[in-house]
Amino acid sequence: HRVLLTGANGFIGNHILAQLLSAGFSVRAIVRSQSKADSLLQTHSSAGHNLDFSIVPDITAHDAFTEAYQSEDPVDTVIHTASPFLYREVNNNHDLLDPAIKGTMEILKGAKNVPSIKRIIILSSIAAIMDYSETSPPGGRLWTDRDWNPVTWEETSQAEDYSTVYRASKTFSEKAAWEFMKEQKPHFDLVSLNPPMVYGPILHPISEVSQLNESNLRIWDLFINSSKGAELPPNGVYSYVDVRDIALAHVRAVLKPEVGNKRVIVGAGSVTSQEIADILRSEIPALAGRTPVGNLGENTLPINPYSVDIGPARDILGLEFLSKKATFVDLARQLLEIEKGN
């Protein structure tokens, strides 16, 4: 396979790139600048001829990907992950909405002119599935691929918190992609992969922990750069998956014909703040004074918890998931090394 991958330098993008290369695929990685391409080449230095680059400075521009799609070696699959998930550099709601929606549309429009393309895989989110304002009914709530976040444009334009706008950006961009498929009936199929919170060790180089991607930064801020006596943080979105598993889901989605035109939720299950704290405190002695204690072993899930339907990820993509210990201990150990300057 020859795959065109956007957002290749991101937290998840880097893991996808690594796994595509180790599956023996040839990859054209799309990034915003030459320096980001240079850095990727260092991280994936053994890729050789299997890795080339295309620089697309603005994914919202008209015909943004026309040049990137021109390849002597025909591309058969596109994986689109480039989309802002970084609240820190956002000035207004459009900084989150425009790249998400227009970037997705440009990828799809550009592919219409490339007959060799058979499949487009977009990295969406359970943000496009769950209704975050809903309290689960008695017995809990299972979110499936048939559900859509009901957020509206009106709510989004009035929203003052970036998490609502981020979730809307994922919802509107994935919806636009499925509408494009329905209206344009292109020669390729579409797959959307919808992970919950993604955590785990990073492959992309950072010099300071403050440069961490948004989801891992949450673990650093609340569970590592904290103190023993601090209050245990709220559970937040407690469905999660390891970055290595969502990356593998992309490789499987390239390979499995039967996943065509499906949305697939890729989650490992639920994890509470108490579980994360318990794992880190028991596995990493250096965190004894830094990770909040809470009440060891207490089940802090709500009485009626929600969960996400991971049956299709198991059955269609054949995924098994890493343990919580692997995810949080591998991440925390790496962050402690980065803190030391290693």
- Is 200 a binder of ligand NDP (CB under 6 A)? no
Distance CA 73, CA 3 (A): 10
- Is 9 a binder of ligand NDP (CB under 6 A)? yes
Residue of the chain from 3, 5, 10, 190 that contacts ligand NDP (CB under 6 A): 10
Residue of the chain from 54, 77, 83, 93 that contacts ligand NDP (CB under 6 A): 83
Residues in contact with ligand NDP, shown as a per-residue x/- string from 108 to 127 under the rule CB under 6 A: ---------------x-x--
The residue count for binding ligand NDP (CB under 6 A) is 24
Closest CB to ligand NDP: residue number: 10
* Sign for the pseudo-dihedral over CA of 274, 244, 77, 95: positive
- Is 239 a binder of ligand NDP (CB under 6 A)? no
Which of the ranges 80-88, 282-290, 303-311, 315-323 carries the binding residues for ligand NDP, by CB under 6 A? Answer: 80-88
- Is 192 a binder of ligand NDP (CB under 6 A)? no
- Is 197 a binder of ligand NDP (CB under 6 A)? yes
Residue of the chain from 110, 195, 233, 267 that contacts ligand NDP (CB under 6 A): 195
Nearer to ligand NDP, 31 or 111 (CB): 31
Closest CA to 280 of 325, 336, 227: 325
* Contact set for ligand NDP, span 18-37 (CB under 6 A): 32, 36
- Is 270 a binder of ligand NDP (CB under 6 A)? no
Residue of the chain from 4, 5, 11, 151 that contacts ligand NDP (CB under 6 A): 11
Work out how close the CB of 296 gets to ligand NDP at its nearest, in angstroms, rounded to a whole number. Answer: 27
- Is 149 a binder of ligand NDP (CB under 6 A)? no
Residue of the chain from 77, 81, 164, 272 that contacts ligand NDP (CB under 6 A): 81
- Is 86 a binder of ligand NDP (CB under 6 A)? yes
- One-letter-per-residue 3-state SS of the chain: CEEEEECCCCHHHHHHHHHHHHCCCEEEEEECCHHHHHHHHHHCCCCHHHEEEEECCCCCCCCCCCCCCCCCCCCCEEEECCCCCCHHHCCCHHHHHHHHHHHHHHHHHHHCCCCCCCEEEEECCHHHCCCCCCCCCCCCEEECCCCCCCCCHHHHHHCCCHHHHHHHHHHHHHHHHHHHHHHHCCCCEEEEEECCEEECCCCCCCCCHHHCCHHHHHHHHHHHCCCCCCCCCCCCCCEEEEHHHHHHHHHHHHHCHHHCCCEEECCCEECCHHHHHHHHHHHCHHHCCCCCCCCCCCCCCCCCCEEECCHHHHHCCCCCCCCHHHHHHHHHHHHHHHHHCC
Residue of the chain from 99, 233, 267, 292 that contacts ligand NDP (CB under 6 A): 99
- Is 215 a binder of ligand NDP (CB under 6 A)? yes
For binding to ligand NDP (CB under 6 A), which residues are involved?
7, 9-13, 32, 36, 59, 81-86, 99, 123, 125, 170, 195, 197-198, 213, 215
